[in-house]
Amino acid sequence: MDIYGNKVFWAWNNVLNEREIRRQIQGFAQQKIAGFFIHSRCGLKTPYLSEQWFSAVEIAADEAGKQGLEVWLYDEDGWPSGFAGGLVVASDASLCIQRLRLERSLAACRGMRIAACFRRTNNGWESCTPERADCFFAAQSDLHYVDLLNPEACRAFIRCTHEKYRDKLGHLFGTVIKGIFTDEPQMDGYISYSPVLSEKYENAYGRKFEDDLVCVLCGGKKYKKFRLRYIKILFPLFIESYIKQLDEWCRRNHLILTGHLPAEDGLLYQGEIAGSCDLAYRSMRYPGIDFLGRRLCSDVLVKTLGSVKSQEGLERVISETFGCSGWNTNFAQFAWIWGYQAAAGINSACLHFSAYSVVGNRKRDYPAFFSGQEPWFAQWHYLNDWMHAVNEFNSGKEFRDKILVISALENAACEPEENARVVSNAYRLLIEALSDLQTDFETADEFALSGRVRIKGTRLCFGNSEFGLIIVPHVESILGSTAKLLLEYKKNGGRILFTTAPPRFAEYEKSKTLEELISRQNELPFGGVVQNRAELWGKALQFIGYRRNFYCVSDDGRLLKDVRMRVCEKDGETHVFLANKSASDTKEFTLVSDRAGTFRERRFLQGDCAVACSGEDFCETRVLLQPMQSRGFVFGNCARENVPIRFQSEVLHTFSAEWDEENRLALDKCAYSIDGNAFTLPKYVLFVQNEIYEISKTLQANKSLRVRYSVCSKIDQKIRVFLEQGKVQTIEWNGKKYRLDDISFLDRDIRGFDCELRKGMNELTLEYILEPNRTKIDPDKVFESERNRFSYELEIEAVYLCGRFGVYPDSVTSSRGGVLQCEGKFTVDALPQVDFSRELTQQGLFFYSGNFQKSFYFSGDASIAGLSVDCMNAVCAEVAINDRVVGCLFSVHDELDIRKFVIEGQNKVSVMFYSGLRNLLGPHHHVSGEVNFTGQSTFMGKRGFEDEVIDFTLRENTYTEKYFFTPFGGGNVVIHFYK
């Protein structure tokens, strides 16, 4: 088993074909992908869990065995996990989720079961009959998801899914098939309700859960005490009913349970939707997180998982990563995202995702994709190798004397939302402050600590970790068990610090235990209380004598913000990994060891190299971290070496350039006509798709549908037109009928035909049969279990023109971040004489998705050791010297060691710059221009969760008629001389 290798979510999202399955697996192997999760996604045409499905899985397992890849199953049709694509509720409707709603009238409860009702009196709220009530708590059955607090629901889920896999493929369990992924299983939010929870609540407290709902109306301390009683039942019930059942089944069947939960990246909604992620991770053999977007998520997310890994002694944990990062993400940004996670101890990746197909709305399914449709996929092995090396580097034995930060989750889960938001934000700021100080700390929930901690002298032992200092977050109340633990630890000489103020209560009551603890804390000059700012935390830790064996020192003595550090021991040496969170700021500082020795740098794709070190009974070296960069250093007792010094750099200006000279144009606006009626005005193709879908829901019989695209040209030119064939009946280009041939573009289901582009207006008309809609689903009004599986029966998409032509808008301006803003219509004209010393997109190549190569010449010299490029607006740049590929550059900050490849006399260096699919596939019309969090809504012109992640203030309608594109190009080669 390859512990550190990347695996991919492999989205099975069309008709499954043996030849294509084997071809794509072979592509994974060529790019050094270690395995894949077979993931049913929107657009799947082969019925889920059918005989054809299992046959396809067996084919995939057979080919994976031949290629040496791991197969991992995925337990759901879409997500979230638990409903088996509707089979669980179909088997027993009583297993559906009950969504508790607070209503103000009896009429509003129609169709729901009233769980409790209350009326307001002069003495407050009291229970009453429905006819007299002012407020109602009503349970609404939702057949689109299941009650995961009911153990029987999980047993039914296992019968519908896991045991079917065992019946068909059990002979491969534990060999080729390694495990199964569960994805975002969840509760309702607000107040999760279940007959099972109600029963356990009454058994635990001797009072009815439904009667205690009056506390929600009362608010204040009554509400908080109720919430605490509630989560004491809720959190472990979710673990026992769902997570542990799956884990136990997997263990019995020689499989490993992996996956992640929702609402992991903060505390605000985590308690209601997922319970305690900390507790859930501890119940899985291979726990994971979801790390989405071309951005860095909260330190809380990565620290929680990294802490569980250390405390539970797990060999590896996983991150489902790079989803929603968009078509324009480059290798440097992927490395930035992964380096940040690796610095928290996360050491294996599930790449989100590889697409079996990109036709229809599949291409908008939270890209980027890691599959053959990407222009750079044949170069992915470089980043795979880098990530593998980073994962292995960071997987050594950790130091034991750490700081423990107690999580604020339990308090956040008991507070009203406005208070919970304050608690969650304060906790996030605490975690970020300690991370900015490069402290070695871990986190743990109060429930996780309860009953599992040992105190050994001044050390607190929890699992595999030992702590010499405990930090309590800024919370109003802690658990009684936590208060007792802290007091015992303090009496034993342990060190404790409070954030902002000590807790006021233990379980929302005054506590003598807590009072004694605070009294003992007053022995410290500042009462053991630290205001929640990184600078003040630094001073407090210095005052109590905390310092790591390895630490970073800035030149001006100020906080070294945004640098993350991980230190571990491996093979008798110490590994220090440093990651720069900032995408814009360079960090320059000194890395120090408090003992004698030598640092060397681990260049993850090129081996170790010497670095300049100083100090006798200590060791230090200067570190320069470029924006988004990660670097690794090895510390040991080896002799210090002379370090080559760069004394000259030379920019190579003379070059030749080559490209495929086949431009692209995406026609993403069209008009339509039904049953021979007049054509509508042209509009954005996805708006047309939605309109046609709504029309199909009203039909009683088939109708003829004609869709028309148009493009204006100033030249006559032979071109190819590609379209997503779907159910097209006839194709007309300028009045002449055509048929699709077998040549594909991007995807085997995007096929084309040759035709003539003529001067003036050109029209493409596609005819379909519009059938009455069979699903009747409104994807905006159903739970995400159905929405995430939804795809249109008839998919109306953009069409693509390819040929030797240029594409020109009416106007172009450059906006924030260099994004190109185009207005007006695009016109086809002659292909320009491309100037490869400039940015290419604006030279009539707005939709271009190909690559280009520059070649340079230089005279060989023994002092030439390094090579870089001075400008790079590309996904990556592959370098060849004298026609031999020598490596890949991720950014302008990368430098290749080329000493082994340079010969005396003339040398040729060729650099192939690779583009992405952003300018071809979009999103082109989002009001923000270029977004860092991309999903279905980003393309659809309506505000979705993707927008809310980045900007809560964004308007509801996010569509603009303007087009946005990103720059593409590459600069000159720079060679570096050393002595």
pLDDT tens digits, one per residue of 183-224: 999 999 889 999 999 999 999 999 999 999 999 999 999 999
Give the integer Cα–Cα distance in Å for 885 and 744: 29
Beta bridge partners of 869: 973
The closest alpha carbon to 327, from 971, 941, 961, 926, belongs to 926
Average pLDDT over residues 384-396: 97
Average pLDDT over residues 944-955: 81
Residue whose pair of structure tokens reads 């040729």 in the numeric block: 908
Interacting residues of 781 by C-beta distance below 8 A, sequence separation 6+: none
Question: 670 with 757, same domain?
Answer: yes
Q: Is the pLDDT of residue 314 over 90?
A: yes
Q: Is the pLDDT of residue 819 over 90?
A: yes
pTM of the model: 0.97
pLDDT value of position 531: 97
Q: How does pLDDT run across 557-587, given as a tens digit for each residue?
A: 888 999 999 999 998 999 999 999 999 999 9
Between CA 148 and CA 155, with CA 151 as vertex, the angle to 5 degrees is 100
Give the integer Cα–Cα distance in Å for 194 and 139: 9
In a domain, 787, yes or no: no
Between CA 163 and CA 171, with CA 165 as vertex, the angle to 5 degrees is 105
Residue whose pair of structure tokens reads 């472990």 in the numeric block: 236
Half-sphere exposure of 868 (CA within 13 A, CB side): 14
In a domain, 216, yes or no: no
Domain-ending residue, one of 610, 643, 676: 643
Q: What are residue 20's phi and psi, to 5 degrees?
A: -70, -40
Question: 826 with 709, same domain?
Answer: no
**CATH code (residue 586):** 2.60.40
In a domain, 536, yes or no: yes
Question: 837 with 877, same domain?
Answer: yes
In a domain, 633, yes or no: yes
Q: Is the pLDDT of residue 838 over 90?
A: yes
Higher model confidence: residue 458 or residue 559? 458
Average pLDDT over residues 805-810: 96
Average pLDDT over residues 168-181: 98
Q: How confident is the model at residue 660 (pLDDT cuts 50, 70, 90)?
A: confident
Question: 970 with 848, same domain?
Answer: yes
Q: How does pLDDT run across 474-532, given as a tens digit for each residue?
A: 999 999 999 999 999 999 999 999 999 999 999 999 999 999 999 999 888 889 999 99
Tokens found for residue 352: 């989100």
Give the integer Cα–Cα distance in Å for 423 and 420: 5
What's 270's DSSP letter? Answer: H
Domain-ending residue, one of 544, 567, 595: 544
In a domain, 331, yes or no: no
pLDDT value of position 557: 81
Longest Cα–Cα distance of the chain, Å, equals 98
Question: 532 with 577, same domain?
Answer: no
Higher model confidence: residue 466 or residue 655? 466
Give the integer Cα–Cα distance in Å for 884 and 16: 38
Q: Is the pLDDT of residue 53 over 90?
A: yes
Cβ atoms of 916 and 328 closer than 8 Å: yes
pLDDT value of position 864: 86
Handedness of CA 443, 446, 451, 456 (dihedral sign): positive
pLDDT value of position 779: 82
Average pLDDT over residues 649-654: 91
Q: How does pLDDT run across 117-133, given as a tens digit for each residue?
A: 999 999 999 999 999 99
In a domain, 196, yes or no: no
pLDDT value of position 952: 64
Cβ atoms of 408 and 474 closer than 8 Å: yes
Question: 680 with 588, same domain?
Answer: no
Report how far apart the first and last C-alpha atoms of the chain are (Å, whole number): 43
Tokens found for residue 370: 């890691």
Structural domain tally of the chain?
A: 4
pLDDT value of position 189: 83
Average pLDDT over residues 743-763: 96
pLDDT value of position 861: 85
Cβ atoms of 851 and 915 closer than 8 Å: yes
Q: How confident is the model at residue 781 (pLDDT cuts 50, 70, 90)?
A: confident
Of 158-162, 713-717, 813-817, where does mean pLDDT reach its minimum? 813-817
Tokens found for residue 566: 């991980």
Domain-ending residue, one of 643, 677, 699: 643
Cβ atoms of 213 and 192 closer than 8 Å: no
Question: 416 with 529, same domain?
Answer: yes
pLDDT value of position 466: 96
Q: How confident is the model at residue 665 (pLDDT cuts 50, 70, 90)?
A: very high
- The whole domain housing 613 covers 550-643
Question: 490 with 518, same domain?
Answer: yes
Cβ atoms of 924 and 964 closer than 8 Å: yes
Within 10 A of 369 (CB to CB), how many other CB atoms are there? 25
Question: 876 with 814, same domain?
Answer: yes
Give the integer Cα–Cα distance in Å for 6 and 3: 9
Question: 820 with 967, same domain?
Answer: yes
744-745, strands of its sheet edge to edge: 663-667, 799-803, 717-724, 747-757, 744-745
Question: 759 with 877, same domain?
Answer: no
Buried b (16+ CB within 10 A) or exposed e, 448-477: bbeeebeeeeebbbbbebbbbbbbbbbbbb
Half-sphere exposure of 159 (CA within 13 A, CB side): 13
pLDDT value of position 897: 95
Give the integer Cα–Cα distance in Å for 369 and 377: 9
% of the chain with per-residue pLDDT over 90 = 92
Question: 839 with 854, same domain?
Answer: yes
Cβ atoms of 489 and 470 closer than 8 Å: yes
Of 386-395, 676-685, 936-945, where does mean pLDDT reach its minimum? 936-945
In a domain, 90, yes or no: no
535 sits in the region (left: phi over 0; alpha: psi -120 to 50; else beta) called: alpha
In a domain, 299, yes or no: no
